[in-house]
Amino acid sequence: MIKYCKSCLFPNTKPDIFFDNKDICDACISAERKHKNIENNLDWNEREKEFEKIIEEKLINKHEREYDCIVPVSGGKDSTWQTHVMKKKHGLRTLAVTFDQFDQSDIGLHNLEILKSIGVDHIHFSLNPNIVKKLVFKGFDTIGDPYWVNHVGMFTVPIHIAVKFKIPLIVYGENPIFEYGGPKHSRDNMIMNKRWRQEFGGMRGYREEDMLDEEISENDIKMLFYPSDKDIEKNNIQAVFYGYYFKWRPSKHTKFVKEQYGWKSLKKAPSGSYMKEENCDMEFIDIRESIKYLKYGYGRATDQLNIEIRDKLISRKEALKIVKKIDGKVSKKNIKKFCEYLNISFNEYNNIISNFVNKELFYLSNKGNWKLKKARY
């Protein structure tokens, strides 16, 4: 039987989650440290000074290069806000870098246009779409995550560009281990490097070379292989999480970019999600999250509502009602479009999905649907 955090709705089946002796998950413990004055609370003033020191160090010899930092940008609210902050607040010559997602939405493309208003240069990198499609299928079929290529691209291509242009600082947003839970030794990590990417960057235990076959060569995906330590050290390149140094508050980011730049959200939340302001750039997010739900017993709505619970925007009781209603849902229209994109049948799709169902958590109903077994909330 699944056991849940007493404070939020994370189950003990979530990978890398840890519960204390009061059945409180580490994501909630981190949130308490972030928001309240408790033992081992975070000194945000001190952390801001740490970030300013990094900037000061990276600005040495700035006349030798065109840019001071890179911000990886998806078109989402957080990376848009972050680009504004690096350019306007910190005064850095900022280069925005986007790894083109295979399912980039029209709203996502609209929001990327905001970068022009912020006033930064922008590189939008696209991998060969034929290779991307093969990687999407491999990720879907092998590990139950069609977004494997997107994860790897987001955490690798900006590093390559930093090497090429000798840009010493790459600023990512939130550290998902801090915000969503994970091993204690990584909770207060401020660095994104090859080891972090491999363990927490959505690679699901698969390396780049694991995707090579007769149809995908190393040369086809060379931009997905992490740059050498020699190249990174030679250019003194460091990738950090901005959310380590400053409180990460997505609701405030959303309000700001909407009012300041006309950033657009979806008209309604994707199937299986609670928020219409998240994953606006991804057409098939509900497919990925429905697989996660069948693997671990929780989906995107749980992730989103847990943040709301920790920020005191909704009660656990009310959040639970919503989760029971929408978590794990997937749009039939999106399944059809996804199958057409991969050129597979609906039966093939279902057969692949069934390979990832955790039979200890789910049972097959009389109507042929996977249902979550009794859980202890």
Tell me the CATH number at 63: 3.40.50
- Tell me: pLDDT of 33 over 50: yes
126-130, 177-181, 202-206, 234-238: least confidently modelled range: 177-181
Could you give the number of structural domains in the chain?
2
Report if residue 279 sits inside a domain. Answer: yes
Report if residue 134 sits inside a domain. Answer: yes
Q: Are residues 155 and 84 in the same domain?
A: yes
Q: Across the chain, how many H-helices and E-strands are there?
A: 19, 7
Q: Are residues 366 and 282 in the same domain?
A: yes
Q: Are residues 183 and 296 in the same domain?
A: no
Report if residue 172 sits inside a domain. Answer: yes
pLDDT given at position 87: 97
Instruction: Choose the final residue of a domain: 194, 229, 245.
Output: 245
The pLDDT of 28-46, averaged and rounded, is: 74
Contact between 286 and 271 (Cβ < 8 Å): yes
- 282-302 tens-digit pLDDT: 999 999 999 999 999 999 999
Q: Are residues 72 and 208 in the same domain?
A: yes
> Which range of residues forms the domain containing residue 279?
269-372
Q: Are residues 189 and 281 in the same domain?
A: no
Report if residue 344 sits inside a domain. Answer: yes
Report if residue 75 sits inside a domain. Answer: yes
Q: Are residues 113 and 230 in the same domain?
A: yes
Report if residue 22 sits inside a domain. Answer: no
Q: Are residues 339 and 218 in the same domain?
A: no
Instruction: Choose the final residue of a domain: 213, 245, 277.
Output: 245
pLDDT given at position 369: 85
- 255-285 tens-digit pLDDT: 999 999 999 999 999 999 999 999 999 999 9
pLDDT given at position 39: 46
Q: Are residues 191 and 123 in the same domain?
A: yes
| β partners of residue 97 | 72, 123
pLDDT given at position 38: 45
Q: Kindly report the CA angle at 18 between 50 and 41, in degrees rounded to 5?
A: 35
Q: What is d(CA 358, CA 145) in angstroms, rounded to the nearest whole number?
A: 15
Q: Are residues 58 and 181 in the same domain?
A: yes
Q: Are residues 189 and 285 in the same domain?
A: no
For the chain, the first-to-last Cα distance in angstroms comes to 10
Reported confidence tier of residue 181, pLDDT bands at 50, 70, 90: low
Q: Are residues 168 and 49 in the same domain?
A: yes
Q: Are residues 81 and 202 in the same domain?
A: yes
Instruction: Choose the final residue of a domain: 212, 245, 278.
Output: 245
Q: Kindly report the CA angle at 290 between 79 and 77, in degrees rounded to 5?
A: 15
Report if residue 311 sits inside a domain. Answer: yes
Report if residue 30 sits inside a domain. Answer: no
